[in-house]
Structure 1
Amino acid sequence: MSKSVYRRGGQALLLCAAALSGAAQAAQADEYRLAPGDQIRVQVFQNPDLTLDARVGESGFISYPLVGKVKVGGLPLDGAEALLAAALKKGGYVQQPQVNIALLQVRGNQASVLGQVNRPGRFPLETANTTVTDLLAQAGGVAPGGADLVVLTGARDGKPFRTEIDVPAIYRAAQGGSAGTLVVQPGDVLFVDRAPVYYIYGEAQRPGAYRVERGMTLRQALAQGGGPTVRGTERSLKVERRAADGSFQPLKLDMNAQIQPDDVIYVPESLF
């Protein structure tokens, strides 16, 4: 075989190794990192006396037999395993320690989901790149009465953080190959408000409150309520809209005009 073939083969192996190294670094960056409050189990191969269930303290330390206090907070599991193994070997307690750490319960890295979701509560951020959509999925998704806009609050770089997220736009962007959604940080709160509604009363088939869809026209809003009854008419529909002072002002709208949250539609009785 010629030297050029060997050279090409060596370059391919180097490129492959570099790709594997880059993938390993990316995986480590995404790996869950231990935080205060997490419950872990430490086991050392062929040394059952060194098995320990521990809680990561507020300062990130655990107290481990023979070794003493070890700071594991902020480390991925394999990093904490390597740290404990090095401490056991350095102290001469185990010649070739094989340490395994299992995460029993996540309590440190958590975020809350409140409001109109199917399962509100606190949820663990099991990876470092948990997104808003991941968190919503853990909460069972937005409930039928939930709004399209959700609010994420927390802290970034020690400063208060607040942003509104258009959930349908996220999925439309994902279909178009966009970069995805915001990454959630420990302590964040995701709030899903009620969807905006409008009201129909009078001679409508199904009077009541209905969700305001984007771009919904007066004609579409009336259709949601089943349209007029046999005694009702579309002519002379009355629409009232909330003003800045909270009062309702009467409007004369075209059937193709868009409605707004809290609009009140009155379907009058036909005179003929």
Structure 2
Amino acid sequence: MKQLDCWPQKRHAVLLAMLLILFGFGATASAEYIIGADDALQIKVYGYEDLTTETRVSAEGRITFPLIGEVVLGGDSTFAAERKISRLLSEGGFIQNAQVSVTISEYKSQQIPVLGYVNKPGLYPLESQSTVIDAIAMAEGITPLGEERAIITRHRDGKTIKQEVDLHNTLENSETNALFPIEKGDVIYIPKAPVFYIYGEVQHPGAYRLEPNMTVAQALSLSGGLTLRGTLRGIVIERRDSSGKSETVEVQLTDVVLKDNVVVVDERLF
């Protein structure tokens, strides 16, 4: 069969646009990221270039910084770490009101995998109040063939739990979004959307993303409409019945297309 055509439909395109507007391409971790073991940090003090330090957080959450020595940063946000180092420099009599910058140069301790049909699958930094929408936005949204549904696999009290999230409804309702925070150890997966196939006398035969309650007429429109030789008479759907047997059924334009249905458009007789 012909390879899937990536023709995003209106509802899916709106979802992707909302993700990009709300969170932007390539979203990065903010000051809410919680520093943990094995994170790599770059620490700068404005006006004191000789104090610039590249360091890695120890298993105990500690780093060593010039003048003040060992500092515990594990469990702090980057903003809290900046204030702590500034305070210690002041209390030690070294620099008063130091302007400190702490950035994460390598995320190791707090990461979450975003997998499946997203534009950039991979590991992304986990912030203290991240939600499933935040994580998908960091992966640059779902692909045209991704379903508007996320499966979150999490481990709680020795048990594996799976939750499903309707992304479209969640984006439209900020309160619902808040109900799906993500934590370390969670795995987010975007499954492949259901598809249907259309062949015969249409402009662009192939496989397409199936939207809820899509009709035969909408399927025809998505494939570019009929060719000059096509006819609306005798359109059939090839499918499997409840027992798994193949069947061919003649349909009307208002009939609903289901997952994996094959719509066949006949050639008209002159």
Same fold, judged at TM 0.5 (above):
yes
Give, in whole Å, the separation in 2 of the partners of 1:120 and 1:253: 40
Range with greater deviation from structure 2 (101-110 or 74-83): 74-83
The answer for the alignment partner of 1:200 in structure 2 is: 198
Deviation at 1:165, TM superposition (A): 1.8
Q: Which amino acid aligns with 1:103?
A: T
CA distance in 2, matches of 1:168, 1:47: 49
Match of 1:31 in 2: 32
Task: Tell me the equivalent position of 1:5.
Answer: none
TM-score with structure 1 length normalisation? Answer: 0.70
Which residue of structure 1 aligns with residue 112 of structure 2?
A: 111
Q: Is the 8 A contact 2:198 2:205 kept in 1?
A: yes
Query: Higher RCO, 1 or 2 (CA under 8 Å, sep at least 6)?
Result: 2
Match of 1:168 in 2: 168
Seen in structure 2, the aligned counterparts of structure 1 residues 86 and 139 have a Cα distance that, compared at 3 Å, is closer
- Across the aligned residues of Structure 1 and Structure 2, the Cα RMSD in angstroms comes to 3.4
Which residue of the partner structure matches residue 56 of structure 2? 55
The within-5 A match list for 1:1-272 is 31-41=32-42, 52-62=53-63, 71-77=72-78, 79-80=80-81, 94-95=92-93, 100=100, 102-105=102-105, 106-125=107-126, 127-156=127-156, 159-174=159-174, 178-181=175-178, 182-243=180-241, 247-272=245-270
Shift in Å, 1:239? 0.7
> Is the contact made by 1:44 and 1:97 (CA closer than 8 Å) also made in structure 2?
no
Instruction: Provide the aligned length of Structure 1 versus Structure 2.
Output: 236
Output the TM-score relative to the length of structure 2.
0.70
* Identical aligned residues as a percent: 36
Distance change in 2, residues 1:67/1:253 (3 Å):
same
User: What do the CA deviations read for 1:71-97 (whole angstroms, capped 9, x no partner)?
Assistant: 43222345556767888899xxx3577
CA gap of 1:173–1:160, structure 2 versus 1, over 3 A, is same
> How many angstroms does 1:216 deviate by?
0.6
Structure 1 portions without partners, runs of 5+:
1-29
Stretches of structure 2 lacking an aligned partner (at least 5 in a row): 1-30
Amino acid at match of 1:210: Y
Return the offset for 1:31: 3.1
Amino acid at match of 2:58: G
